[in-house]
Structure 1
């Protein structure tokens, strides 16, 4: 295969910049070579209080990787993924190698076009439930090996989730180091550029579950009230069989592919990863929901 053209590099880089990331830190770097693209994680974008083991950073890299793959396929490239485990380059996450050419599928075209439309929705969803056929499409459409999407729909399960989210919110609201780190990564503008931190507008979303990022002023409703709110949403728990480096990457890939499919279908959503940073919350999800793997994040979807 011939190398990447300047136009291809520009399109892939622009698409990757729009991937969601923890605190909008954009913790990755792309490096183009003749036949492959290397994706590196940016260790200088670490969040030691929010993300002490770098799980969310790798989930973010997985979302970025999904954008790289979509953009490459949109350009007519056939690509393979090579996870990296090189001790000489521990920050290299994956290589994307061009192996041929083919027309992109209709699904790839639609998801690629959804990249520019996808946004984190921090408000309440409409009362209209997500249609059954669309739910089935979202649950079965991510096609990332080793990643499962677990809907949380039964009243008892939603009550468990509400209790765990309530606990994590109370812990994070009182964690001064976490709050200082979040404040440092809050941009002074409503629409910060990729990598510049979270929007100042998130400060005005002052109640769960829509706040997403818990601040000292976040209102935390009681568990019953929170469960009632959550019961009106489509809640998908992303889980992996193991909890290693590439499991986190694949979780980010699957979540972003599902989110882009939902965006193409007219839905809006947001991702919650903060609760899974607390050991007791992850353990509670595994035990209470009888999960077969490790919960990595919660994807909230609904009609705007």
Structure 2
């Protein structure tokens, strides 16, 4: 990498960085990150709050969310024509510091980086069914490659026996969460009304949490009609599933998993696909253990990514105001009202 270039960030550059990071996926749309902007360096911090003790008791998803934000931020730096070198958990004495990105001199971004940066604004969690058109095998291979990162394997869940295993475990998880009063209360707290006023903020829009039958056993309310295992298997067979597996199960692995997942997700969007992530079933130890054993995984499964062609894309969820996540550096460029 070229020598770190310590020129100040302009307001327009800061806005590009912020918007890219803030469009990353996060558990229950909590957006658990802060960005510190300094000349020649960017730092991503994990906020300890908000916590999700029932959904994410060990903070795995919160760390993975920050890893996804790092992936977007890295792409933004490259799109601005600067070199970037990322270090994850760079300071053992500062556990809240998720990543430090050293920014170098001018280096032109590749066409692939520019396309995937463009996918950031189009990426949204697809909770509706896909249209049933199979993703071609060469495309699946590209997504598996895009989801590879140090310490992370993106593994395709093969049709047939492996999909049947996942269907059985997702149904088990759905039935568990439907009767877990703490989980249901927490999900209710993080579900916000579908209103124009909620363009900014945190939480899951109510219209994005299925109240009727769902094609997969993800976010489930008490009234959600969970398909039986054969029906769930049939529906899952109409989409592509990737499982992200890490070598170990420490915070660094969780961050790496989120980083790798976002890279695969952006590659999917760039290829005309939609995707949605499942993590909550993997917080149940029986589900996680059975998935490892039955799919013969050589590591720890951190997330499942559903991928397919969507007849209608889900809209993005609301995001916090830019100044709520920025520390240091110039403020974002101010636009005239109505733009």
State if a TM-score over 0.5 links the two structures: yes
Picking from 135, 138, 160, the partner of 1:133 is 138
Instruction: Give a deviation string over 1:233-287, Cα, whole Å, max 9, x none.
Output: 1000011111111111111111111111111111111000000111111101101
Question: Does residue 115 of structure 2 align to residue 103 of structure 1?
Answer: no
User: Structure 1 residues 9 and 87, CA, compared in 2 at 3 Å: closer, same or farther?
Assistant: same
CA contact (8 A) 1:24 1:194 kept: no
Aligned to 1:206: 212
Task: Map 1:12-51 onto structure 2 (within 5 A).
Answer: 12-51=17-56
> Does residue 252 in structure 1 map to residue 255 in structure 2?
no
1:278 alignment counterpart:
284
Give the alignment of 1:135-154 within 5 angstroms: 135-154=140-159
Residues 31-81 of structure 1: CA deviation (Å, up to 9, x unaligned): 111221110111111111110110000110011111100100000111111
Partner of 2:337: none
TM-score, normalised with respect to structure 2: 0.86
Gaps of 5+ in 2: 311-339
Contact 1:70-1:112 at 8 Å conserved across structures: yes
1:184-222: per-residue Cα shift (whole Å, max 9, x none)?
Answer: 111112674465100110244522334631111111111
Q: Deviation at 1:223?
A: 0.9
SS at match of 2:192: coil
**Matched positions, count:** 304
Instruction: Quote the residue 1:227 is aligned against.
Output: 233
* Contact preservation (8 Å) 1:25, 1:194: no
What is the rounded CA distance, in whole Å, between the counterparts of 2:199 and 2:283 in structure 1?
Answer: 26
The reply to whether residue 239 of structure 1 matches residue 242 of structure 2 is no
Aligned 8 A contact 1:27 1:195 in 2: no
Higher RCO, Cα 8 Å, sep 6+: 2
* Structure 1 contact 82–96 (Cα < 8 Å) conserved: yes
Q: Secondary structure at the match of 1:44?
A: coil
Q: Which of 171, 193, 217 is equivalent to 1:166?
A: 171
| Contact preservation (8 Å) 2:56, 2:283 | yes
Kept in 2, the 8 Å contact 1:238–1:296? The answer is: yes
Give the distance between the partners of 2:75 and 2:243, measured in 1 at CA: 23
Residues in 2 aligned to 1:194 and 1:66: alpha-carbon distance in whole angstroms: 22
> Within 5 Å, which residues of 2 pair with 1:178-197?
178-189=183-194, 192-193=198-199, 195-197=201-203
- Aligned 8 A contact 1:18 1:194 in 2: no
Please provide the CA RMSD for this pair.
1.5
Quick one: distance in 1 between partners of 2:293 and 2:217?
Answer: 26
Residue 212 of structure 1 aligns to a residue whose secondary structure is coil
Superposed displacement of residue 296, structure 1: 0.3
| Closer/same/farther in 2, CA of residues 204 and 188 from structure 1, 3 Å limit | same
**Where does the alignment leave 5 or more consecutive residues of structure 1 unmatched?**
none
TM-score, normalization by structure 1: 0.96
Contact persistence 1:202–1:211 (CA under 8 A)? no
Written as runs of structure 1 = structure 2, the 5 A alignment for 1:70-85 is 70-84=75-89
> Retained in 2: the 8 A contact 1:153–1:231?
no
